[in-house]
Amino acid sequence: MTDLTNTTAWKALKSHFPEIRKQSIRSLFNNDPNRGSKYRVQDVGIYFDYSKHRITEETLGLLFNLARERGLPEKIEAMFTGVKINTTENRAVLHTALRAPQGSVVMVDGVNVVPEVHAVLNKMAGFAMQIRKGEWLGYTGKPVRNVVNIGIGGSDLGPVMAYEALKFYAHRSLTFRFVSNIDGNDFAEAVNGLDPEETLFIVSSKTFTTLETMTNGRTARKWLLDKLVHEEAVARHFVAVSTNAKEVGAFGIDTRNMFGFWDWVGGRYSMDSAIGLSTMIAIGPENFHEMLAGFHAMDEHFRSTPLARNIPVIMGLLGVWYINFFGAQTQAVLPYENYLKRFPAYLQQLAMESNGKHVTLDGKTTEYATGAVYWGEPGTNGQHSFYQLIHQGTLLIPCDFIGFKNPLNVLPLHQDYLMANMIAQGEALAFGKTPEEVRNEGVPDSLVPHKVFEGDRPSSTFFLEKLTPANLGKLVAMNEQAVYTQGVIWGVNPFDQMGVELGKVLAMKIIPELENKQAPLQHDSSTNALISFYRG
């Protein structure tokens, strides 16, 4: 494939960029008063406003050309049809099959995987209902009331995010906790106040070899048996979610209590697989299926909508525009919905583990920037901390605002105030406040430069009716597909994560050096000194 920077569209974008850089968002709106309705897509229940971006029709046309030149339409189809696009691991990438409706066909190595997906969903539903109805009894005969998910990365961030996002729909007499960190404080706090007799652990790990999860799993087992004593108790208090039945068995969990998934589901793309077991227990199978339907609706939109009306494609291309041409390095995610407080952290893994690569699929070092740093906090909290830098700092930070027309908890005043703030932020970032406007307010000359807002800070706004399970599914799938779009443009593999390995290997080498204070140290002088300091 032609190197990205040698494509016709890239070169055209390069010569087009200086034209755009000198135009303010104000002038773009003055030149085209209909921008607000022109640069907007309303589909799959999402109002996506991208008018406050530093783009013209020409920019968009060139970005769509770039997408075509990079083969995006064909690559979308390749993903949906099970082509092994994760070439470094020789795997298909089929998280979209996790939400394919019953009766559809998705083939992997000659097998239709949809019936297998639904068989696992049914098994999850049966188990979830037993817990929800108080029918799953612990070893001493008490119903399980506490569910603790043990997992890390994709086996934690999705479940935590979804639980927090959909707490409004959760079974309120069940307690949900999540343990991920190998820091023992995480485990200690997660079980604090819980009765082992009423506690179920879900050990979630695709590989079932991850140090953090296995260590926490063993600690959980000991915590349980310290009270319940008998080994047979484990079967009533532990279930596993994994692709690795052998390791699940070796860990001591009955494989009948295992919920499976497949190597074609990446960790960070797995919250709608059995990894979502805690979510299903919390919100119930019906709501979980609604969430899957939301994912699927967005998948269909991504697969079948022309590029120019395709929400994830436009999002992905806007990211490329800012990262590769404006030199932006980060993407802020700003949900004006407190239940989405873990959404930025979830997207962090999704985007950064996927596109944080500097080598292309054919093994060449890129001559251009790739994945952005994703970060964010819910509004309005962020407005009182880091928004200052977005408004008046020196970095260009594209922002994604997410809001809902209808609140889940209706309290007088709150919703209008919340939405007014979200809409105001996009307006302030884009249009700012000129020196004349500041002076006209009677501000003394010495303070004018401090009170000027330059504007030209781009943002997208995603408006939905209400935070429902289906809408959460749509928002997640939309971001998954935007990340894929960017991976295709940059020519990297968004589905492996080899960059996490080196640190893990070195930690395994250092563990015995911390345990045996006499062990000789052969690292660099800094690492040796740190180990010596720890050894005391």
| Active site residue ranges | 353, 384, 504
- Please report how close the Cβ of residue 178 comes to ligand F6P at its closest, in angstroms: 13
| Cα separation values, 243 from 156, 219, 220, 423, Å | 16, 22, 21, 44
Query: How many whole angstroms separate alpha carbon 487 and alpha carbon 495?
Result: 9
Q: Which is nearer to ligand F6P, 204 or 383 (CB)?
A: 204
Peptide bond into 219 cis (omega under 30): no
- Please report how close the Cβ of residue 342 comes to ligand F6P at its closest, in angstroms: 15
- Please report how close the Cβ of residue 383 comes to ligand F6P at its closest, in angstroms: 32
- Please report how close the Cβ of residue 279 comes to ligand F6P at its closest, in angstroms: 16
Q: Which is nearer to ligand F6P, 267 or 371 (CB)?
A: 267
Four-point Cα dihedral 99, 320, 361, 508, nearest 10: -80
Q: Which is nearer to ligand F6P, 111 or 211 (CB)?
A: 211
Query: How many whole angstroms separate alpha carbon 235 and alpha carbon 233?
Result: 6
- Please report how close the Cβ of residue 495 comes to ligand F6P at its closest, in angstroms: 10
DSSP 140: T
Distance of CA 167 to the CA centre of its chain: 18
Q: Are 237 and 200 in contact (CB under 8 A)?
A: yes
Q: Which is nearer to ligand F6P, 7 or 349 (CB)?
A: 349
Tell me the Cα Rg of the chain.
25
Instruction: Quote the tokens at residue 135.
Output: 């029918």
Query: How many whole angstroms separate alpha carbon 463 and alpha carbon 469?
Result: 15
Q: Which residue has the tokens 């085209």?
A: 32
Q: Which is nearer to ligand F6P, 420 or 511 (CB)?
A: 511
Four-point Cα dihedral 255, 257, 263, 267, nearest 10: -130
Q: Which is nearer to ligand F6P, 205 or 485 (CB)?
A: 205
Q: Which is nearer to ligand F6P, 272 or 353 (CB)?
A: 353
Q: Which is nearer to ligand F6P, 213 or 279 (CB)?
A: 213
Cβ atoms within 10 A of the Cβ of 526, count?
8
Q: Tabulate helix, strand, coil % of the chain (nearest 5).
A: 55, 15, 30
Q: Which is nearer to ligand F6P, 205 or 287 (CB)?
A: 205
Q: What is the 3-state secondary structure (H, E, C) of 44-88?
A: CCEEEECCCCCCCHHHHHHHHHHHHHCCHHHHHHHHHCCCCCECC
Name the residue among 171, 218, 215, 175 with its Cα closest to residue 195. 175
Query: How many whole angstroms separate alpha carbon 113 and alpha carbon 100?
Result: 10
DSSP per-residue string spanning 120-169? HHHHHHHHHHHHHTT-SB-TTSPBP-EEEEE--GGGTHHHHHHHHHTGGG
Beta bridge partner(s), residue 240: 203, 258
Binding site for ligand F6P (CB under 6 A): 152-155, 205-207, 210, 213, 267-268, 353, 497, 500
Q: Are 252 and 240 in contact (CB under 8 A)?
A: no
- Please report how close the Cβ of residue 315 comes to ligand F6P at its closest, in angstroms: 22
- Please report how close the Cβ of residue 266 comes to ligand F6P at its closest, in angstroms: 7
Query: How many whole angstroms separate alpha carbon 431 and alpha carbon 285?
Result: 46
Q: Which is nearer to ligand F6P, 136 or 346 (CB)?
A: 346
Length of the chain counted residue by residue = 536
Secondary structure class of 402 (helix, strand, coil): strand
Helix (H) / strand (E) containing 215: helix 211-228
Instruction: Quote the tokens at residue 38.
Output: 């022109």
- Please report how close the Cβ of residue 149 comes to ligand F6P at its closest, in angstroms: 12
- Please report how close the Cβ of residue 343 comes to ligand F6P at its closest, in angstroms: 17
Residue type present at position 202: I
Four-point Cα dihedral 104, 293, 75, 356, nearest 10: -140
- Please report how close the Cβ of residue 481 comes to ligand F6P at its closest, in angstroms: 19
